[in-house]
Amino acid sequence: MNQTWDTEKYAAEFSFVYEYGNDLLKLIDLTDEHGRRGIDLGCGNGVLTKSLADLGFEMTGMDASSHQISAAQHNYPQLNFIQTDATDFKTEEPVDLIFSNAVFHWIDRDKQPDMLKCVANALRYKGQFVFEMGGYGNNRLIHQELEQVFSEYGYPYKMPFYFPTIGEYASLLEKAGLEVRYAILFDRPTPLKGDKGLEEWIRMFVNNPFRQVSEKDREAIIRRTAENLRSRLYKDGIWYSDYVRLRMKALKRK
């Protein structure tokens, strides 16, 4: 993943990313008496790290983005945050919980086993791994339209995300020594802020495919994509993103 974040804009216009993560907290077994040491993997600005700390966990937030870590440290100076790569991290001692929201789809498919190996190594026996990511079909309309418009402007469109099925990701978890206990793939059409909500969504989250595109063509492609999707993703004065989420829980095997 090579993503640069505008943390202020992210918090102001796309707070739904971590706000929806509050529902994911319900999958955590709070009756587990083995311990309360946890990691928020891909913690972003630290909002959910703080929520986990409020549940009684001794949390460490980890993120690859220096901008997000700086924002998290500013927001919650009482908590511990570390800049590190999710595909290459270690802990001094096993932890009881690893939590992650809206992160793993940013990691390339061929790097997923490395990340899951780190997770398994960091968890104690029967430690909880609770996460949500983009699932199969996530933002399909948006990415299909971007691919079409890129082609019209003479550019290839390389899909920048990994959106697996339940079966595909369950297999990766099992191979890493993690036992699946819960899995669901579900649609979550998500309202976007502002009259240009979809254009701003593309600017925030779809950076890598545009690295080869001129600034003039970039803006034209974004506008054309939004125009073409208006009939499908703009309803009653509100733009929507066609999210599909994969939510899972696994436990560390021996």
Give tens-digit pLDDT for 115-148: 999 999 999 999 999 999 999 999 999 999 999 9
Q: Is the pLDDT of residue 54 over 60?
A: yes
Distance CA(178)–CA(66), nearest Å, equals 29
Residue 20 located in a structural domain:
yes
- 3-class SS at 107? coil
* Within a domain: 236: no
For residues 225 and 174, the answer to whether their CB atoms sit within 8 Å is no
216 in a structural domain: no
pLDDT above 80: residue 17: no
Task: Look up the pTM and report it.
Answer: 0.92
Q: Which of 4-18, 94-108, 202-216, 217-231 has the lowest mean pLDDT?
A: 4-18
Q: Per-residue pLDDT for 1 more than 60?
A: no
Confirm whether 146 is domain-assigned.
Answer: no
Taking the CA atoms of residue 71, residue 77, residue 78 and residue 84 in that order, the dihedral angle to the nearest 10 degrees is 50
Please report the pLDDT score of residue 15 as a whole number: 64
**Domain membership flag for residue 74:** yes
Structural domain for 30, as ranges? 7-137+161-192+244-252
Torsion of CA 80, 162, 118, 29, to 10 degrees: 70
Q: Cβ contacts of residue 35 below 8 Å, gap of 6+?
A: 95, 96, 124
Confidence of residue 106 (pLDDT cuts 50, 70, 90): very high
Distance of alpha carbon 106 from alpha carbon 161, whole angstroms: 5
Residue 27's CATH number: 3.40.50.150
In a domain, 200, yes or no: no
Q: How many domains does one find in the chain?
A: 1
Residue 215 lies in a domain: no
Is there a domain that residue 234 lies in?
Answer: no
Q: Quick one: which of 247, 101, 108 has its CA closest to 187? A: 247
